Structures are given as structure tokens and as C-alpha cells.
Amino acid sequence: MGLIANAAARSLSIEVPTWVDEVVAAFRAPLDSDRACLSLAVELARENVERGGGPFGAAVFAGDRLLSAGVNLVLSSRFSIAHAEIVALMRGQAALGESALNPPALSLFTSAEPCCQCFGSLIWAGVTRLVCGATTADVEEVGFDEGPKPEGWVKVLEARGIQVSQGVERAASRAVLVDYVARGGQIYGKLSASE
């Protein structure tokens, strides 16, 4: 039997480009409100589109400290898991070290409501607050598939002690999605989900 030749990859690595933290460093507004923190996620999404990535960005806070930032890296990494939320959460866990398995209260700001994968992942990562920009309907309107989340997914998260805010800086978040599609950006979710 045996594995096929190159299947023995033992180091599964998602490389985050240096410009992500440069965008964070250059961000002018103080991160002292939900709108400001969500705007950072949108700025990351916007820059990712400029760099050929998907139109999604995210940031993780531990209390009111910015812990990590991420963008969608599915196309560059070829890992379907590399959504902006996952990249930001993994970076946050790397920063937390030992305490990642029993983390402080984490807030996840995401430029668009989580898909069915990130919905589940954020629960295990210890997120206690989720703040979203574009809605699931906005994301699906431009052609992306958010996948099957539980009916009433917001209430499902809230029942687990995760506070959810929706539609923060929605217009700006949605504009990045619309711009991506207008530029002919690849709707990569569809490749694996329905083709």
C-alpha cells in the first residue's frame, strides 16, 4: 500500500506575509471601540485583495490588547482552512504559548461573519466575544458560500457564553467583498464545495 510519494509532509506551515503587521502598525485610529477594531479587520481584508488574496481580515484581542491579526491565505497556502479568522486565532495562540490551551477572554473581530468552519473553530479557541462586519447574506450575495451553520447560530454561540455583535462597519466590510468580485477575484470556496 504505502503513502503516495510526497504525502509525508510533516511540517504543516501557514506563512503570514510581513505586510499584515505593517498594516496593523500603520493603522491610524486608536483601537478603543468596536468600530475601530472592526475597521482594522476591514483594512486587512482590503489590503489582502490588493495583494491577490481573499477579501477577508480578522483581529484577535486579549481583553483590550491587540493579540494578533490575520487575513485569508487560502490561495497562497493552498490550505482550505486558512481563513482570516483561523490565521488570526492561530497567531494569537502562538503568542499565548502555554496558556493557549486555557486562554484569557479573547475577542475576535472579523470583516465578515464566520463560515461553518470558523463558527466551530472559534468556540474551541476560547473566543468569548465575536464582532462581525459583513453579514452572511452579504458574503453569499457576492458568490461565496458560508456553508451550513446551525439554525440560529448567533443564539447558539450566545448560549455558550460567546457574545456576538453583527453588522459593525458593515458597509465598509461589504464594499471590500463587492470590489473583490468586481475585479474578477476567484470564488475559491466554490471550487471545493460544489465542483
Residues from 60 through 79 that contact its own copies (CB under 8 A): 62, 65-69, 74-75, 78-79
Site for its own copies in 134-193 (CB under 8 A): 147-151, 153, 156, 160-161, 188-189, 191-193
User: Is there binding between residue 117 and its own copies (CB under 8 A)?
Assistant: yes
CB 160 within 8 A of CB 126: no
Of 35 and 80, CB closest to its own copies: 80
Helix/strand/coil (H, E, C) string of 82-95? CCHHHHHHHHHHHH
Rounded-to-10 torsion of CA 55, 72, 27, 98: 160
Q: How far is the CB of 150 from its own copies (least distance, A)?
A: 5
Of 175 and 186, CB closest to its own copies: 186
Q: Which H or E run contains 108?
A: strand 106-112
Of 137 and 191, CB closest to its own copies: 191
Of 161 and 171, CB closest to its own copies: 161
User: Is there binding between residue 33 and its own copies (CB under 8 A)?
Assistant: no
CB 159 within 8 A of CB 35: no
Dihedral sign computed on CA atoms, order 113, 119, 121, 124: positive
**Interacting span for its own copies (CB under 8 A) from 9-17, 42-50, 167-175, 176-184:** 9-17
